Amino acid sequence: MSTLPVVVAVDGSEHSLRALDWALDAARRRGAPLRVAHVRHHVAWTPPGAPVVVPPPADDDPVLADARARVEAAGTAGAGPSAQYLALDGAPGALLPELGAEAQLLVLGSRGRGGFAGLLLGSNGMTAARDAECPVVIVPPPGREVDDLLPSEPGARVVVGLKADAPDDATLALAFTEAALRDARVQVIAAYPWPIQTWVAPGDLVLPVYDQDAVEHETRTLADGFLTAHRTRHPEVPVEVRPAPGDAAGLLVAASKDAALTVVGRHRRRLLAPARMLGSVTHAVLLHAASPVAVVPPAAAEE
C-alpha cells in the first residue's frame, strides 16, 4: 500500500515558503513523499478585446521551479523525500481542501500573496482548515508574541487541547504521533471554567460553594482516563497534563509559545448545525498561536 503524501500549497510568498520548509521536515519524519501544489487563480473572464490570460504550462511554472530548487537544496544536507510538483488552475478556496482527500497532512502558510497585509490568517487557510478531510497545518509568521500564562519546562513539546466532557480521540492521536516523531512530550491543556456560576432565576446570579482544588483534581482524573489508550500506544512519549482555570483558547495560545506544534480539533457537526465549522476555540488559536497549528477533522463516524 502506498504511503499518502504530505501536501503543501505554495504561491511564492514568504508565508508559503515557510510552510514548504515545515512540510519537507514533516515528510522526512514520516517517511512520506512530498507533494508541492501551486493553485493558480487566473481570471476566466476578460473584457471584449482584452488579451486572454493564459497560465504558463506546469513545467514552466516559476513558483514551482523556485519550490523545487528549495527542496533540492535542502536535500543536499541529507536524504530527502521523493517530491512531486503539481500545478492546478482554479479557485484556491475550492481546490485546496480537495488536495487533502489524498494526504496525510495539508500544510499552508498563514497568508498568501493575495491577502491584505493586516490579516492574521488568509481566507484560503481558513477554508482548508474547515473543509479538508485530513489534518491541516497552518504555519504562522515568526515572532508572534503571546501572554506567558503557562510557563513550561524547556524541551520539545506538542500542545493539545482536551475538553474533559467531550474528548476528541483523533486530535489526541495526532498529538501523540507528532510528539513521537519529534522526540517531544505531549502537553495536554485541560481547561475548566472558574469561578463556576449558577443561574437560579432571571436576573439572579448565585456563586455556589465549589472547591477549586476538587474541580481541578476531577479534571485531571478525567483527562488521565482519556489518555490511557494513547499512552499505551506511545509509551515512549512523556505526557504532561495541565488542568487550568479559564478560557481554553487563551490557555492554548499561551501554551503555544516555543511549542513545536499546537493541535486542536475541528468542530463536530451537530443535528441543528450540520455545516462544517471550526469552532470558536480553534478559530482563536489559528489566529493567535505562536507555533504551527494542526486542525484535526473528526473521525468519519462523527462526521
Per residue, the 3-state secondary structure of the chain, as one string, reads CCCCCEEEECCCCHHHHHHHHHHHHHHHHHCCCEEEEEEECCCCCCCCCCCCCCCCCHHHCHHHHHHHHHHHHHHCCCCCCCEEEEEEECCHHHHHHHHHHHCCEEEEECCCCCCCCCCCCCHHHHHHHHHCCCCEEEECCCCCCCCCCCCCCCCCEEEEECCCCCCCHHHHHHHHHHHHHHCCEEEEEEEECCCCCEEEECCEEECCCCCHHHHHHHHHHHHHHHHHHHHHHCCCCCEEEEEEECCHHHHHHHHCCCCCEEEEECECCECCECCCECCHHHHHHHHHCCCCEEEECCCCCCC
pLDDT digits (tens, 9 = 90+) for 112-148: 555 444 444 567 888 899 999 999 999 998 888 887 7
Are 103 and 200 in the same domain?
A: no
Q: Are 8 and 18 in contact (CB under 8 A)?
A: no
Distance CA 55, CA 77 (A): 34
Are 129 and 169 in the same domain?
A: no
Q: Are strands 157-161 and 261-265 parallel, antiparallel or unpaired?
A: parallel
Are 120 and 206 in the same domain?
A: no
Distance CA 44, CA 91 (A): 10
- CA distances from residue 14 to 45, 67, 73, 106, 120 in whole angstroms, order as listed: 29, 11, 17, 17, 14
Are 182 and 83 in the same domain?
A: no
pLDDT value, residue 119: 45
Are 11 and 42 in the same domain?
A: yes
Do the domain assignments include residue 303?
no
Q: Is the pLDDT of residue 35 over 70?
A: yes
User: Which is more confidently placed, 143 or 235?
Assistant: 235
Are 166 and 78 in the same domain?
A: no
Pick the closest to residue 63 from 94, 40, 33 (CA basis): 40
Q: Are 242 and 188 in contact (CB under 8 A)?
A: yes
Minimum mean pLDDT among 4-8, 175-179, 189-193: which range?
189-193
Are 105 and 174 in the same domain?
A: no
pLDDT value, residue 206: 57
Q: 31: domain range?
A: 6-139
pTM of the shown model = 0.84
Do the domain assignments include residue 144?
no
* Maximum average pLDDT range among 14-18, 106-110, 179-183, 196-200: 179-183
Do the domain assignments include residue 301?
no
Q: Is the pLDDT of residue 272 over 50?
A: no
What number is the average pLDDT over the span 222-235? 94
Are 111 and 169 in the same domain?
A: no
pLDDT value, residue 27: 95
What number is the average pLDDT over the span 93-121? 76
CATH number for the domain spanning 279: value is 3.40.50.12370
Q: Is the pLDDT of residue 236 over 90?
A: yes
Output the average pLDDT for the chain. Answer: 83
> How many domains are contained in the chain?
2
pLDDT value, residue 227: 94
pLDDT value, residue 299: 73
**Radius of gyration of the CA atoms of the chain, in A:** 21
Are 283 and 178 in the same domain?
A: yes
CATH number for the domain spanning 113: value is 3.40.50.620
What is the signed CA dihedral for 127, 129, 134, 140, rounded to 10 degrees? 130
Q: Is the pLDDT of residue 298 over 90?
A: no
